[in-house]
Amino acid sequence: MIAVEDLRKRYGKTQAVDGLSFTVEPGRVVGFLGPNGAGKTTTLRILLGLVHANSGQATILGKRYSQLERPFCQVGAVLEASGFHPGRKARNHLRVLARAGHAPAKRVDEVLATVGLEGAAKKRVGGYSLGMRQRLALASALLGDPGVLILDEPANGLDPEGIRWLRDFLRSLAAEGRAVLISSHVLSEVEQTVDEVVIINKGKLVAHGSVEELKRGKDGRVRVASPQAKALEEKLAKAGFVVTEDGEALLVAGATSAQVGEIAASSSLVLHELTPLATQLEDVFLDLTSEEKT
Amino acid sequence: MIAALSSEWLKLRTTRTLFWLLVALSALMTLIVVAGVIGSQKHSITSAKDQLDLLGIGSLGIFIALIMGLIVSTGEFRHGTITPTLLATPSRTSIVIAKALAGMFFAVALVGLAEGLVALELAIALPAKGVDFAIQGGPAAGFIGRILIAAALWGALGSGIGIVIRNQIGAVVASFAWLFIAEGLIIAILHSNAINSNAGRFFPFQATGAILTNGSRNSADILSAGGGMAALGGWMALFTIAAVVLLSRRDVS
């Protein structure tokens, strides 16, 4: 649905995007992560036809954005919480876009209600808070009822309630079969929202996979305690996991709690403790991007 | 294209810019008409030709038309609305053409209203001074028609300049610096003995003068009204093409 293939973009001496490739499938929420200056926004802008790539392909639904039949109704985008005329009322901002993008006029009030701005629809955007602007940007993206959403830092400026709303909202969009590509630096929020992540650094792909895969691949461990520790250690080792002792418990590397629990159950071994040693996405992210830096 | 044009139309109607431009233009027109009538000797404003010259005060609205054209385009870059505009209308050529047409339409509307106001004020002020209102429909219609054509061209030219320069203040300053300083300076140089050329008559301000005076100045230094329209239309086309080329090549980030 979204395909980036060997994408390259150079600004003067800076290689902003350097041979980047990844895909986003329908019904998936994909986090697009990277430190500041990693090339996230440039990549998203190339996808949306706002920035010209030096080489490579960036397509949505198999075509470049500008070649889509009705791009505004096929792809919704939030790129920044600006992009509003401060003297224009929110409802009129959406009417302008709906008219240009061939979206039905009735969608204006629908999306205002969806993002909770119906009460402020007739206020000029200049009087909006950052959170309200972010909601209005989301409303703009949803105007055409698109199957693909590309969101650059959509949680910026939202209060905790708004962030929770956004998280649930993005999940509901993905459940409807839409593809969502969301860039963010609020990693803890992305972790709770996305199915998979694409991590880039210095314009290059560093990692792409599900959050669980990345955590497990990097430092996923499970702490398990059993009165039959020796037998359990043998079974786990036989299953290919690396097991080390941790006091009276065992540390199993590269395994999930479910895998360890199933192995214990299949051998009728009693467990006193089964604790996944959670690795935060932030840790994975920092590890991957700092490795790349060195 | 129609969707983009319709959107441009709505953009201008949904901010207060147009309203304040109209207020400024109306105030300016009223001030000049009142000063012009009060400050003139009766005999100098009695003939139809003299009164037609007074009607020409409305042509000052052409400068407002230029400003409006500049705002149509530079406003997008100033407020960052160029990004959602391009997302809704990815064809950059369509955007430039829609803005040029919007600049034209609004310029004609503004200057048309200004001319109507001037005519109304003259119809009141002249009899109040004891002078009969002598403007005839035919010549007035032709004169106002030429003013509106010039306004339309300046509105579109402004929108093209706005996309080329992008910075709102920079575009306004550059445009008026050309009109009031650079154009005259270059013409003076062209007229100098060393060069002795009257190529300056093709310049925008001179071409506008030709449209408004209908080539009545008996001089090789000024074009006919049609020539003026062609020359000003040429500048408009040049800046529209430049706007298409530049907007298509530029990254919007």
Q: What is the pLDDT of residues B161-220, one digit of tens each?
A: 999 999 999 999 999 999 999 998 998 888 877 676 778 889 999 999 999 885 455 566
DSSP B60: G
- Sort out which chain B residues have CB atoms less than 8 A from A82's CB and list them: 79-80
Quote the pLDDT of residue A291.
Answer: 54
Q: What is the pLDDT of residues B91-141, one digit of tens each?
A: 999 999 999 999 999 999 999 998 899 889 988 988 888 888 877 777 788
Quickly state the pLDDT bin for A190 (edges 50, 70, 90).
Answer: confident
pLDDT for A165: 83
Q: Which of A162-171, A282-291, B166-175, B221-230 has the lowest mean pLDDT?
A: A282-291
Q: What are phi and psi of B120, to 5 degrees?
A: -65, -45
Contact list, B14 vs chain A (CB under 8 Å): 88-89, 92-93, 95-96
Q: Is A122 on the interface with B (CB under 8 A)?
A: no
Residue A2 reports pLDDT greater than 60: yes
Nearest to B1 by CA among B86, B104, B97: B97
- Over range B24-32, report the average pLDDT: 89
pLDDT computed for residue A154 by the predictor: 86
Of A96-100, A185-189, B15-19, B81-85, which gets the smallest average pLDDT? A185-189
Residue A46 burial by Cβ neighbours in a 10 Å radius (0-12, 13-18, 19+): buried
Nearest chain A alpha carbon to B249: A52
Per domain, the residue ranges of chain B are 2-249
What does the pLDDT read at residue B216? 56
CA distance A206 to A218: 13
Contact state of A100 with B85 under an 8 Å Cβ cutoff: yes
pLDDT of residue B217: 56
| Of the candidate ranges A211-215, A271-275, B70-74, the one whose mean pLDDT is the lowest | A211-215
Instruction: State the pLDDT confidence band at A62, using cuts at 50, 70 and 90.
Output: very high
Complete edge-to-edge strand list for the sheet that includes strand A55-60: A14-24, A2-11, A55-60
CA dihedral B5→B11→B14→B16, nearest 10 degrees, is -120
Chain A residues within 8 A of B11 when measuring between CB atoms: 85, 88, 96
Does residue A245 carry a pLDDT above 80?
yes
User: Looking at residues B60-86, what average pLDDT do you find?
Assistant: 92
Q: Which of B43, B42, B75 is nearest to A96 (CA)?
A: B75
Q: Specify the higher pLDDT residue, B74 or A155.
A: B74
Q: How many CB atoms lie within 10 A of CB A229?
A: 17
CA separation for the pair A177, B57 (Å, rounded):
62
By residue count, chain B amounts to 253
Residue A70 sits at φ, ψ, to 5 deg, of -135, 75
Whether pLDDT at A294 is above 50 = no
Question: Using CA atoms, how far apart are residues A113 and A104, in angstroms rounded to an integer?
Answer: 15
Does the pLDDT at position A218 exceed 80?
no
Q: Where are the alpha helices (DSSP H) in A104-252?
A: 107-114, 130-142, 160-175, 187-193, 211-219, 229-238
Nearest alpha carbon to residue A37 among A59, A9, A65: A9
Q: What are the helix and strand counts (H, E) for chain A?
A: 11, 13
**pLDDT for the residue numbered A293:** 46
Structure tokens at A193: 């929202």
- For chain A, which domains are there? 2-214 (3.40.50.300), 221-278 (3.30.70)
C-beta atoms of B4 and A100 within 8 A: yes
Q: Which of A86-100, A208-222, B37-51, B171-185 comes out lowest in average pLDDT?
A: A208-222
Q: What pLDDT sits at residue A77?
A: 93
Check residue B220 and give its pLDDT.
65
Burial B151-189 (b: 16+ CB within 10 A, else e): bbbbbbbbbbbbbbbbebeebbebbeebbeeebeeebee
Query: What tokens does A284 get?
Result: 């994975």
Cα(B73)–Cα(B242) distance, integer angstroms: 13
Of residues A140 and B193, which shows the higher confidence score?
A: A140
DSSP string covering B164-225, please? HH--HHHHHHHHHHIIIIIHHHHHHHHHSTTT---GGGGSHHHHHHHHHHTT-S-STTS--H
| Gap between the Cα atoms of B166 and B159, Å rounded | 10
**Cβ–Cβ of A86/B90 closer than 8 Å?**
no
Q: Averaged over A224-234, what is the pLDDT?
A: 92
Nearest partner of A187 among A257, A286, A112, judged by Cα: A286
Q: How confident is the model over A88-100, as pLDDT tens digits?
A: 999 999 999 999 9
Per-residue pLDDT band for B38 (boundaries 50, 70, 90) equals confident
Query: Which residue's entry shows tokens 């407020």?
Result: B79
Express each pLDDT in B143-159 by its tens digit.
899 999 999 999 999 99
| A244-250 long-range contacts, CB within 8 A, separation 24+ | A249/A223, A249/A224, A249/A225, A249/A273, A250/A223, A250/A224, A250/A225, A250/A226
Looking at per-residue pLDDT, the higher value among A193 and B244 belongs to: B244
Q: A259 to chain B nearest CA, in Å?
A: 47
- Interchain pair B90, A66: CB under 8 A: yes
Tens-place pLDDT, residues B229-252: 999 999 999 999 999 999 999 998
Dihedral sign, Cα of residue B81, residue B83, residue B84, residue B86: positive
User: How many helices (H) does chain B have, and how many strands (E)?
Assistant: 11, 0
State the Cα–Cα distance between residues B121 and B118, nearest whole angstrom. Answer: 5
Flag whether pLDDT at B28 surpasses 60.
Answer: yes
Query: What is the identity of the amino acid at B20?
Result: W
- Please tell me which residue of chain B has the smallest CA distance to A137: B84
Query: What digits encode the pLDDT tens for the residues A247-277?
Result: 889 988 878 888 899 999 999 999 999 987 7
Predicted confidence at residue B205, as pLDDT, reads: 92
Say whether residue B2 is in contact with chain A using an 8 A CB cutoff.
no
d(CA B224, CA B241): 25
Residue contact B91–A96, C-beta within 8 A? no
Selection from B149, B153, B119, B112 nearest residue B133 by Cα? B119
Average model confidence (pLDDT) across chain A: 88
pLDDT score at A216: 66
Token pair for residue A275?
A: 């604790």
pLDDT at residue A112 tops 90: yes
